[in-house]
Structure 1
Amino acid sequence: MKSRFYAYNFGIPLLCAAVVFLLFDMTKIDIAFSNLLFDPLTQTFPLDKIHLFEKITHKWARIIPNWTGEIAVIGAMLSVIWPLVNPQKRPRLGAFLQRSRVAPVLRFAADHRRDFFFVVVAFAVCTGVIHFLKAHTSVYCPIETSLYGGKMAHVEWYENFQLFHEAGEGRCWPGGHASGGFTMLALYFVARRYQWRFSKAILWGSLLLGFVYGTTRVLQGWHYMSHTFWAGIFVWLACLLTALAFYGRARLEMPVLEKHERTVSVATSAALAE
């Protein structure tokens, strides 16, 4: 079971990384695809000049991960209030909160404190990883390079990678906008912990959101397609490692509800045996 967990959750993304590296980074597929979107006569990516497209796909689209992160922060803050209230010692305050319907919200936040903090930390870790890679590879976006009317040279991320210091001013690899969509994968690990029925829908929905975010930027000339794949791989690994730190492998393998049901089943069997 342990080996299967690691093979599935680490093996698949690492295999995807190898495929992306060989299929995209070692070939000219990225450039060939972007060439189809580039107008050599005007030396522009036409979709980059459509302000409504930019507003909907780049600015408005940020609402989903931004609001999710903000809700998680608020939930994490509220989760520490209910224990401080302590209705048993402060019955009047507890009764007031109950009448004002605030108590259920505070109790819910307190019950899911670990989950709220996990989402906050997972979002922060994913953002940090992507920013680190951007700064330490210094890859310029297609539209900024001489291939598409810009002034900067086109380089692959591995040609310019620096581990201990920033490699330059380029900030295009991996895809930052795509990573914003992929960070919603943090919700999948929460859903997986509780064995929610729609956990797979959250998984595929988060992946789809990341790919949509990334593809729109490819259409505008601000990323290559491989940048989106790399963003998804790194965000998955970041969320997975954070989930392991918060919940542990055993808890992710045996979600809380299943564990509770097994406990009840064992207790019932023991009672019947007596």
Structure 2
Amino acid sequence: MNTQRNRFYSMNVGIPLLLAVFTFVVFDLNELDIALSNLLYDPLTQTFPFQHDRLFENLTHRWPRIIPDWTGELAMAGALLSFVWPRFKADKHPRLIARMEKLRIAGALEFLTRHRRDFLFVVFAFAITTGMVHYFKSHTGIYCPVETTLYGGFQEKKEWFENFNLLHEAGKGRCWPGGHASSGFTLLALYFVALRYRWRHARKLLGWVLLLGMVYGTTRVLQGWHFMSHTFWSGILVWFSMLLTALAFYGRPALQPSPAPLPQHLELQS
């Protein structure tokens, strides 16, 4: 059991912490962010490649919001409807229940009731993560690249740790961590639900969600509205927020893989 627990925390806490240290050292303590943005920035026109491209803005920023938005809204609807079916009693509402079963409504409501905890988890995970992202945005007060003097703006570029204030807002900037990237990473909630049910495609889902968050964040880098490290920090912070919420809802044993069964000859020996 200790081996399973250690492996769980090594994978889900250790690796993200190593990534956080890597991001801090490589990006925050150096000028890699500026170097990458300089490759994209045209000093003659003082613009980034897609900074004023309305179609690109719609394709990569406005319309993709539908995916996390609808996921959250469906989870909220599912959570609310999960309380409906238990209110129907076989001895008090036999005709209504029969009618609902004929229309296949009863089965859907039963499904929602069985998975109430999962719907509530997604709702709370989305809410907690969104609140966490807004907290760090307001308590670091970091400005976006196009708002800094490096790229035609009027604000000084600072690192998040230079400006962080635990209890009070640090300034008017709202660029760290990446908000659009975090909206993609919030779908990590579905990965933890998949872990709970030992879904065999859970790791593929994890890969797709991480890719989606990276795409969301990188497109904003191409527009000059974020540095690349903002996307990495967004993914790291969202991961820990989702992990802690999942542990609170489900507990570690429900999220870690089941131990592999012993071969039959070893079971006989034991």
Q: Which runs of 5+ in 1 are unaligned?
A: 263-274
1:199-249 deviation digits (Å, cap 9, x = unpaired):
111100000000000000000000000000000000000000000000001
1:142-177 deviation digits (Å, cap 9, x = unpaired):
000010000111000000000011101100000000
Q: TM-score, normalised by structure 2?
A: 0.93
Letter paired with 1:180: S
Q: Following the alignment from structure 2 to structure 1, what is the Cα–Cα distance between the partners of residues 89 and 145?
A: 57
Q: Which runs of 5+ in 2 are unaligned?
A: 262-270
> What is the deviation of 1:126?
0.9
Query: What's the counterpart of residue 246 of structure 1?
Result: 249
Query: What's the counterpart of residue 202 of structure 2?
Result: 199
2:94 counterpart of 1:91:
yes
Letter paired with 2:153: G
Query: What's the counterpart of residue 56 of structure 2?
Result: 53
Query: What's the counterpart of residue 23 of structure 2?
Result: 20
> What is the deviation of 1:36?
1.0
Q: Following the alignment from structure 2 to structure 1, what is the Cα–Cα distance between the partners of residues 147 and 99?
A: 59
1:97-155 deviation digits (Å, cap 9, x = unpaired):
11222111101100100000000111111101110000000000000001000011100
Letter paired with 1:59: R
Question: Percent identity among equivalent residues?
Answer: 61
Distance 1:88 1:246, change over 3 A: farther
Q: Aligned to 1:175, which of 169, 173, 178?
A: 178
Q: Following the alignment from structure 1 to structure 2, what is the Cα–Cα distance between the partners of residues 46 and 114?
A: 44
> What is the deviation of 1:88?
4.4
Does the 8 A contact of 1:174 with 1:228 survive in 2?
yes
2:139 counterpart of 1:136:
yes
Does the 8 A contact of 1:58 with 1:213 survive in 2?
yes
Q: Following the alignment from structure 1 to structure 2, what is the Cα–Cα distance between the partners of residues 88 and 11?
A: 54
Does the 8 A contact of 1:87 with 1:93 survive in 2?
no
